[in-house]
Amino acid sequence: MKPQVTAVLFTILFSLCCWTASAQNNDSPIIDAYISRQARREQGEEYREARKVVVGDVTHDGVPETVVLYTIESQGGRNLYIQYLAVFTPRNRKLSPLTHVEVGGKSVRSVELRSVENNSILLNTMSYGPNDPQCCPTVKGTTKYVLGGKTLHEQKQKAAKRR
């Protein structure tokens, strides 16, 4: 490859990486506000320590989106939690919410956000076996979500063996 082309590609990639890193830091208040509004609507609160954020292209446009897994608990004072996956897209140098979907929760399954690869959001799952108590799902698995328009669609994977 010619040195000029290599330099241009490096500059573009470096700029994109820097923008992504600064966007994650600068956009945290936008993500916080989005989740806080939802928590208020559900009369719950976010379990902030469980929030996970990854960056990757899910819209097939070459521009990375910010993907957030977050948990809202104690809805209406109940002993409940629901896990959500949200996608934020960059618009005018700021993040803007694109969509969100419920992906897990008490008595449903527990999920862990792994990464964004090949335009898919990858998650590890722990589902409930027939004799599992509500506290302790034991069936390991994986799943992925893909974006179709403004909707996240699950493409289920096979469950793994119990631990």
pLDDT digits (tens), the chain, 163 positions: 555 544 433 434 444 444 444 444 566 999 999 999 999 999 999 999 999 999 999 999 999 999 999 999 999 889 899 999 999 999 988 999 999 999 999 999 999 999 999 999 999 999 999 999 988 899 999 999 999 999 999 997 655 555 5
Q: Compute the chain's Rg from CA coordinates.
A: 18
Q: Which tokens belong to 63?
A: 């521009």
Asked if 56 contacts 65 with a C-beta cutoff of 8 angstroms, the reply is yes
Asked if 99 contacts 87 with a C-beta cutoff of 8 angstroms, the reply is yes
pLDDT at 30: 95
Which residues are CB-neighbours of 59 under 8 A, at least 6 positions away? 65, 89, 98, 119, 147
- The number of beta carbons lying within 10 Å of the beta carbon of residue 112 is 15
Residue 25: domain span? 3-162
Q: What is the DSSP code (8-state) at residue 55?
A: E
Name the domain count of the chain.
Answer: 1
Report how far residue 120's alpha carbon sits from residue 115's, in angstroms, rounded to the nearest whole number.
Answer: 8
pLDDT at 163: 53
Least Cα distance to 152 among 60, 83, 66, 86 occurs for 86
pLDDT at 22: 41
